[in-house]
Amino acid sequence: MHQSGIDLPRLHVPGRGLWIKGPKVVRDLEGLPPLLARSGPLELRLATTKKQIRKVQRLRYDVFYQRGDAIPNAYQASLRRDTCPFDRVCDHLFVVDTSRPGPLHKEQVVGTTRLLRSDMAADHDGFYSESEFLLEPLFERHADKRFLEIGRSCVHPDFRSRRVIDLLWQGIGRYAAHHGSDVLIGCSSLKGTRSEMLAMPLSYIFHHAACPADWQVAATPARAARMDWLDKGSFDPRQALASLPPLIKAYVRMGSTFATEAAVDHQFGTTDLFTVMPLAAVNLRYLAQFGPALAQVA
């Protein structure tokens, strides 16, 4: 279970008569180590302290608000962090570059994603995706499945290489295997809030990557956006696939499917697609990206 307010023992500094209080632990990783993988100077970690979560929030603020179209509220702007109530509940994967220290020689966080399991969601306020999509019928139809929501994923622009993305996928795979998750879910974003201006990518998803009926969900009425702007035979599917953002394109190639109704997120300036990836159906060509732990499960 998640814990808060747990202090590590104070550390004694020999010869100086000093006791240094250790960092405050806010996550119990339930058997997973905080360091999950390395690739050269890059390290993949699970956050265990508030300080690490604040670093993750600063990266998200930089990517989503300063470099992107998201609009911060006054509190977020004052802190220059992408704060969110779900951060207190979720686990946080993050990648640091140990060769590129930031201010005061601190390691730089260069990539992150947020993880929320079914059991954690049930004990708190549900999934973040439920603010945009009506998920209860989906959970009722698949009551035997354990869901894992992926969200708030981002990578610093200087590090958008395959190494960082592969490390995050390895972490997701190891985390999912450790906790026995069956299905990955989340919101994938297209830049822009006018769905008619996103006619080709939305129509491609609608006609070529739609969820089967038993995995479909509807958007909440206030956010719902049409996707079937173009007839199936009126556009080149290869061109449409190439036009998708890299993350959504990767989801498609891995075997993910999507709801056929989108949701508009005005704060982030995006049109969001509900994404479903049953791990047993992951395309074998891409399974290695999840690491050996998940390969044994899927």
| 23 is a domain residue | yes
How confident is the model at residue 107, as a pLDDT? Answer: 80
Out of 103-112, 115-124, 264-273, 282-291, pick the least confident: 282-291
CATH code, 146: 3.40.630.30
Q: Which residue is listed with tokens 């954690």?
A: 120
Whether the pLDDT of residue 90 is over 50: the answer is yes
| 172 is a domain residue | yes
Out of 105-109, 223-227, 258-262, 277-281, pick the least confident: 105-109
Confidence category of residue 6, pLDDT binned at 50, 70, 90: very low
pTM over the 0.85 mark: yes
Confidence category of residue 27, pLDDT binned at 50, 70, 90: confident
Whether the pLDDT of residue 210 is over 90: the answer is yes
Q: What is the DSSP letter of 210?
A: B
Confidence category of residue 136, pLDDT binned at 50, 70, 90: very high
Task: Please answer whether residues 2 and 120 qualify as being in contact, where contact means their C-beta atoms are separated by less than 8 angstroms.
Answer: yes
How confident is the model at residue 24, as a pLDDT? Answer: 66
| 60 is a domain residue | yes
CA-closest candidate to residue 189, choices 214, 152, 156: 152
Which domain does 147 fall in, by range?
A: 6-10+18-297
How confident is the model at residue 288, as a pLDDT? Answer: 64
pLDDT (average), residues 277-284: 83
pLDDT (average), residues 227-242: 96
The domain total for the chain is: 1
| Residues in CB range of 67: below 8 A, 6 or more apart | 157
Question: The dihedral of CA 211, 249, 173, 255: what is its sign?
Answer: positive
Q: Which residue is listed with tokens 């996103």?
A: 198
How confident is the model at residue 298, as a pLDDT? Answer: 38
pLDDT (average), residues 202-226: 98
In terms of DSSP H, where are the helices of the chain? 50-60, 74-79, 118-122, 136-141, 162-179, 199-208, 237-242, 246-254, 292-297
Q: What percent of the chain has pLDDT over 90?
A: 74
| 1 is a domain residue | no
Backbone angles phi, psi at 171, to 5 degrees: -65, -40
Confidence category of residue 23, pLDDT binned at 50, 70, 90: low
Whether the pLDDT of residue 21 is over 70: the answer is no
Mean pLDDT, the chain, whole residue set: 88
